[in-house]
Chain A
Amino acid sequence: MPLAVRRATHGLARVHEVLDSFASRDCNGEILTAVRHFPAREPQWADFPRWVRSELVTAYAAKGVSRLYTHQAAAAEAVHAGKNVVIVTPTASGKTLCYNLPVLNAVLENSDTRALYLFPTKALAQDQLAELYDLNQRLDHCFGVFTYDGDTPADARKAIREKGHVVLTNPDMLHTGILPHHTRWTRLFENLRYIVLDELHTYRGVFGSHLCNVLRRLRRIARFYGCQPQFICCSATIANPGELALRLLESEVEVLDWNGAPAAEKTFVFYNPPVVNRALGIRRSYINESARVAQEFLKHDLQTIVFSNSRLHTEILLTYLQQANPRLPGKPETVRGYRGGYLPNERGEIERGLREGKIRGVVATSALELGIDVGSLDAVVMAGYPGTIAATWQRAGRAGRRNGSSCAVLVASSALLDQFMVRHPDYFFGRTPEHAFIQPDNLEILVNHLKCAAFELPIAPAEKFGDADLPDLCARLAEAGFLYLAGENYHWTHEAYPADTISLRSVTSDNFVIIDITGQPNVIGEIDFPSALVFVHEKAIYLHGGQQYHVEHLDFKEQKAYVKRVDVDYYTDAVRYTQVRVLEVAETAPGLESEEVNEAVEVKETGPRMARPDALVSPFTSSTSFTSLTSYSCHSHGDVLLRSQVVGFKKIKFFTNETIGDGKLELPENEMHTTSYWITLRRSLLESLPFSISERQSGMFGLLHALESIATLILMCDRHDLGTAIGENPPSPQESVTLSEALHPVLQTHPRDSEFFEPNLYLYDAYPGGIGFSEPLFRAHDLLLQKTRELISSCDCEQGCPSCVGPAGDLAPRAKEAALAILGRLCA
């Protein structure tokens, strides 16, 4: 693929040389699946608004900012007009000025004014602190700015509470350290005018649902002190920033989603590692390929950042690149690693080295993805798809020299989503389809925060807390001994400090601690209850930080797992039974009409199980139940009860994946009430397929595998946020027996008459109570099926591979064909 090379500046020429070298390696166009050029964009300027105080304008001018970009001016104006705003901008477009300008102006106008900045991580707050310090110095230290987090020394805290005009913290600290001690923060709360929420897009799913409740508490406390603060939010590009902000803040928000910042010329390349075995769909290792790509940039003296998706891969890539770029005697290392777990001063040193150009390459995890300022680099290499389109753009945004050209390369792994992306570049470059969802009224989350709220202030009868039925919930909490009604108000009556036991980053807080007892007992990690059953059951091989551990004992009472370091050539996979029971159907919609409608209906009407579909959907959707009878399928969403039990495990050999042993386990059943989306495949559909029973079943499992991945793509959620199960559409309306993927071979010998097997394919929220993925998935049903079909049909493998329906060895021979045939009947 010849590239139109424009050799203008030095750096530009080098970038294009690298691109040419990739192109020359790619003889039949299979490796570079997309090369997109983005021309440079000129800045759009605006003047400082008139109301900005002259000393602030001078301070910014001294930093080299004498004019604003149009979006910065518009944001400042909207804040000045008293509106809540959400600013949607890509990386490096000067978003911090959007909030610092109006906030500092207000502080200069009235030195009582206080502002609270929330960042999702401590590192980000530190980064912003440096920027604000710099401004403060130019303004003769007229305001106080501090970070307040777990690292803040105790003796400094008092001064911060009194003198901090701008306090930089994170949601977790606000939740456990500030709100429950609001009386110490009287100065701040009495004068709180602005709350800044940076990186708003990270507040989605569980974390977002928690944050929404923390904000409810924050507004409640502010009200107590007579304040109604204004919100300024910044978000990366996602599909629904306005909607997300509206749900989080629960009040009107103005969306500013255009950008006046300039951009340099940039090239975005999709790189698919060459195929080694076409039939099995095996490609060359994407880690090695990423190292090769990165080395090509480094060889041309282009400053490069490599992103990987795990710590382990970071270390591997770092080793490769440091070997290829040995450090010169007496000189510091030119390629460095950057990930969570590095000490703050080490990180700071790396950030500085990058800005100054002394460090030529860095291998990082997502720790560098959020707004840490390392300046702009020449090239970005992503080892593996970061999981969401938004995150991909954000990582790519790290490249972008003001003058000259820069380049971002996405090296795909063989995982399903990666392959989908590199083979459908238009989907990626077309638009951002990802939505951020939250479910703040998830009962588990809501009730937990209600406890915190009652601890902070007694709950008065007329109060509101989201849409919850407050009197009812308070009465229940009183019954459980947490609250007590005195006079009109509910007071906290428990010794515990509720915020301590509630983690914002997950739903339930009963975690198991994993203790390494090889030498001196040493806590190596934590794992939540449901995962504990799967990953640290007795005799399991638990992987942590690249090290294998054998689980010696799982103590349920103390919630501890004792492990010992081992070095074995196998890993374990838990065998799990999962049962799904539909509790309540919220909505059902029919699929495509079946061709033999009449015949099918007649058959069914004579059958003894005629009442079944009605029972399933009634009384909520009786109107649609009849039509669903005549179609091949229907899809629904609603509440389900999940029962899962780990009944055994398999030992699987590395590389060959043979099963070399198994064992039985007696573990307690785990129950979870959650929400789910599901597709019901009617008998008529299954009967119309020219496949054997086992092929059909394998097809369904393959289909579900693909559906799950595409669903995470559409929902912008983590893979662990969704669970899958296949269950029988209940013969009685109640119980639906389901078997998980790990057990599916058993299906073939299922004692039941498989004639009656009419399956539901469930995609459920993997959190108690659900966090709001099911309904959006139900709405996106058509898109989901269409994309899944595109994915499977465009895959080159013969009988399934990890990039479509799952590895061929795990499924019956014609699984891929069967999955496609089912899809063909599900969508036009």
Chain B
Amino acid sequence: MAAIADKFSRLAALKSARQAIRRPDRASLRAPDQADPLGQLPGAAVAKNHFGEHLAIRNWFSTPEYVEPSRVTLSLLSHTRDESISRKTRAALNDPSKWLFLDTETTGLAGGTGTYAFLVGLGWWDAAGLQVEQFLMRDFTDEYSMLQELATRVKERPVLLTFNGKSFDWPLLENRFKMTRSLAPPKLAAHLDLLHPARALWKLRLGSVRLVELERRVLDARRLGWHREGDVESALIPQHYFDYLRGGPAEPLVGIVRHNQMDLRGLAALFGQINAMLSESPGFLEECESLDLFGLSRFLERRGETSRARSACAQALAIGLPADVRLKAQRELALLAKRHGEYERAAEIWQEMVNHCEDAVHACEQLAIYYERRARDTDRALEYAKLGLAKLVRKHARALHGLREPYREARFARQEKNFRERVARLERKALRPSFPSRHRGAPGVEEPKATRALW
């Protein structure tokens, strides 16, 4: 027998990858019949249905306050190419009493069939405030009844609002439903995920768009009505739950329940903020930071709202942007102008980029196109094409000091080929005397600084 014990002691597969699991102290072990602090949480009660029981925790919060969603916001958020689907989706969306905010706490982030959502938090607008209901699995045996309860809630309010729920929470819950082989995953009328608009709007300014970060720097945490002091660290949540299962302390779980409540309220408040930004509410945009305005412009542009996108972009540039973003914004604004047929305006922006910036390959290319096709000035077009090619080659030579990256190389080769072809074509064109359209200089355009020395 000793040999067998020996065998097991040597198995790498039995060694936990983390540091040895924290065994709960004897003192903090919950006695089986001792009152569980979870059961004493405000609004907590054991919920029963014919699948079993679980813990349900229900609370009403006065903040965030109910926000009437604007039509513009809804159509921007639920934007789909398929008109028939989007019409149905919009119809469901238009009734905020069918909305359900959802956020889960899980036993891991890996996904797959072995990850459980042990706490499912739901929220809906109620009496000008937010009603929050949370279902907790006190053990894996609670899962069926919890899912059953979730299914009824979703049936009542089939429009889901989440933060990253489209790729994480909801598929995970669908998995859990499928694992039961008896409960079908409930059908959703619509699913709005606020992660993508949030990323589009604030990633530039914040770098990270974690909900906590948004709360702090976008939503004005002081006015929210809750604070994150002593909040559980997200990364520790699975381990707290595993410890609890094995008879460990329940206090960390109380913290998780609170954490989930704040996440749900943050989610609802975030919707209000996005609503304000996307609806054409007067005055609101004036208070926005320039980076947020540029984010907004990019989001609107992606959704096909080009004229609004243009004005937001112009506004952002007017307020002033950091150098790297400025270049991007100029480029975007020029393209937007071009798309609107305002070629001279676009050319002005490109010209400015060429004058004030080292890295203006793109602007040179665009100007070459502009002079060839619009201004019909082949010589000028040729100059810009040559300038662009020279800048491209120089930029690549500089980049070469670093790593040779296959993708960059391929891209460079492609761009270089395009430029060379363009130059060749323009040179042929310039030599043809039958093409005499040589009216020089569109208004306000300086001579390009390209000199022979560059090539």
Residues of A within 8 A of B114 (CB): 180, 454-456, 492, 497-498
User: Are B15 and A458 in contact (CB-based, < 8 A)?
Assistant: no
A673 CB contact (under 8 Å) in B10, B18, B112: B10
Cα–Cα distance between A257 and B150 once the two chains are bound (Å): 56
Q: Which of B21, B140, B238 has the most CB of A within 10 A?
A: B140
User: Are A455 and B140 in contact (CB-based, < 8 A)?
Assistant: no
Q: Does B3 lie at the interface of the complex (its beta carbon under 8 Å from any beta carbon of A)?
A: yes
List residues 426-459 of chain A with CB under 8 A from any CB of chain B.
Answer: 443-444, 447-448, 451, 454-458
Residues of B within 8 A of A816 (CB): none
Q: Does A487 lie at the interface of the complex (its beta carbon under 8 Å from any beta carbon of B)?
A: yes
Residues of A within 8 A of B108 (CB): 494-497
Q: Does A501 lie at the interface of the complex (its beta carbon under 8 Å from any beta carbon of B)?
A: yes
Q: How many whole Å from A771's CB to the nearest CB in chain B?
A: 15
Of the candidate stretches B75-83, B239-247, B321-329, the one touching chain A is B239-247
Q: Does A328 lie at the interface of the complex (its beta carbon under 8 Å from any beta carbon of B)?
A: no
Residues of B within 8 A of A299 (CB): none
Cα–Cα distance between A492 and B241 once the two chains are bound (Å): 13
Residue interface mask A316-353, B partner, CB < 8 A = 1: 00000000000000000000000000000000000000
B141 CB contact (under 8 Å) in A486, A498, A500: A486
Residues of B within 8 A of A133 (CB): none
Q: How many whole Å from B241's CB to the nearest CB in chain A?
A: 8
A481 CB contact (under 8 Å) in B21, B110, B116, B181: B21
Number of B residues near A (Cβ < 8 Å) is 38
Residues of B within 8 A of A503 (CB): none
Q: How many whole Å from B88's CB to the nearest CB in chain A?
A: 21
Q: Does B50 lie at the interface of the complex (its beta carbon under 8 Å from any beta carbon of A)?
A: no
Q: Does A182 lie at the interface of the complex (its beta carbon under 8 Å from any beta carbon of B)?
A: yes
Specify the chain A residue showing the minimal Cβ separation from B242.
Answer: A493
Specify the chain B residue showing the minimal Cβ separation from A446.
Answer: B13
User: Are B178 and A487 in contact (CB-based, < 8 A)?
Assistant: no
List residues 350-395 of chain A with CB under 8 A from any CB of chain B.
Answer: none
Residues of B within 8 A of A584 (CB): 3
Q: Does A510 lie at the interface of the complex (its beta carbon under 8 Å from any beta carbon of B)?
A: yes
Cα–Cα distance between A231 and B150 once the two chains are bound (Å): 40
Cα–Cα distance between A639 and B2 once the two chains are bound (Å): 14
Given A180-B114, A481-B242, A510-B109 contact (CB < 8 Å): no
Q: Does B222 lie at the interface of the complex (its beta carbon under 8 Å from any beta carbon of A)?
A: no
Cα–Cα distance between A451 and B242 once the two chains are bound (Å): 16
Q: Which of B12, B17, B108 has the most CB of A within 10 A?
A: B12
A-B contact count (CB 8 A): 102
Given A476-B14, A481-B16, A487-B3 contact (CB < 8 Å): no
Q: Does B139 lie at the interface of the complex (its beta carbon under 8 Å from any beta carbon of A)?
A: yes
Q: Does A520 lie at the interface of the complex (its beta carbon under 8 Å from any beta carbon of B)?
A: yes
Q: Does B175 lie at the interface of the complex (its beta carbon under 8 Å from any beta carbon of A)?
A: yes
Cα–Cα distance between A727 and B107 once the two chains are bound (Å): 50
User: Are B140 and A458 in contact (CB-based, < 8 A)?
Assistant: yes
B11 CB contact (under 8 Å) in A444, A455, A489: A444
Q: Does A515 lie at the interface of the complex (its beta carbon under 8 Å from any beta carbon of B)?
A: no
Specify the chain A residue showing the minimal Cβ separation from B177.
Answer: A183
Cα–Cα distance between A12 and B221 once the two chains are bound (Å): 87
User: Are B12 and A456 in contact (CB-based, < 8 A)?
Assistant: no
User: Are B16 and A482 in contact (CB-based, < 8 A)?
Assistant: yes
Given A182-B113, A495-B110, A520-B403, A443-B11 contact (CB < 8 Å): yes
Tell me whether chain A's interface is mostly helix, strand or loop, or mixed: mixed
List residues 174-193 of chain B with CB under 8 A from any CB of chain A.
Answer: 174-175, 178-179, 181
Residues of B within 8 A of A181 (CB): 111-113
Q: Which of A444, A493, A671 has the most CB of B within 10 A?
A: A493
Q: Does B7 lie at the interface of the complex (its beta carbon under 8 Å from any beta carbon of A)?
A: yes
Given A456-B113, A484-B245, A476-B175 contact (CB < 8 Å): no
User: Are B113 and A497 in contact (CB-based, < 8 A)?
Assistant: no
Given A444-B13, A481-B21, A482-B16, A673-B7 contact (CB < 8 Å): yes
List residues 150-204 of chain A with CB under 8 A from any CB of chain B.
Answer: 180-184, 186
Cα–Cα distance between A481 and B178 once the two chains are bound (Å): 26
Q: Does A491 lie at the interface of the complex (its beta carbon under 8 Å from any beta carbon of B)?
A: yes
User: Are B16 and A480 in contact (CB-based, < 8 A)?
Assistant: yes
Q: Does A768 lie at the interface of the complex (its beta carbon under 8 Å from any beta carbon of B)?
A: yes
Specify the chain A residue showing the minimal Cβ separation from B109.
Answer: A495
User: Are A487 and B140 in contact (CB-based, < 8 A)?
Assistant: yes
Cα–Cα distance between A224 and B180 once the two chains are bound (Å): 10
User: Are B112 and A447 in contact (CB-based, < 8 A)?
Assistant: no
User: Are A480 and B238 in contact (CB-based, < 8 A)?
Assistant: no
Residues of B within 8 A of A447 (CB): 11, 13-14
Residue interface mask B4-35, A partner, CB < 8 A = 1: 00111011111111100100000000000000
List residues 222-248 of chain B with CB under 8 A from any CB of chain A.
Answer: 238-239, 242, 245-246
User: Are B14 and A477 in contact (CB-based, < 8 A)?
Assistant: yes
Q: How many whole Å from A246's CB to the nearest CB in chain B?
A: 26
Chain B residues engaging chain A, CB cutoff 8 angstroms = 3, 6-8, 10-18, 21, 107-114, 116, 139-141, 174-175, 178-179, 181, 238-239, 242, 245-246, 402-403
Chain A residues engaging chain B, CB cutoff 8 angstroms = 180-184, 186, 224, 443-444, 447-448, 451, 454-458, 476-477, 480-482, 484, 486-487, 489, 491-498, 500-501, 508-510, 520, 583-584, 639, 671, 673, 768
With A180-B112, A491-B116, A497-B108 given, name 13 new contacts (CB 8 A): A180-B113, A181-B111, A443-B11, A443-B13, A444-B11, A487-B139, A492-B114, A493-B107, A494-B242, A495-B107, A496-B110, A520-B402, A584-B3
What are the 5 closest A-B residue pairs judged by CB atoms, nearest first?
Answer: A455-B114, A497-B110, A486-B140, A495-B108, A481-B21
A-B contacts, 9 of them at CB < 8 A, read A447-B13, A448-B13, A480-B16, A481-B16, A482-B16, A487-B141, A497-B112, A671-B10, A768-B12
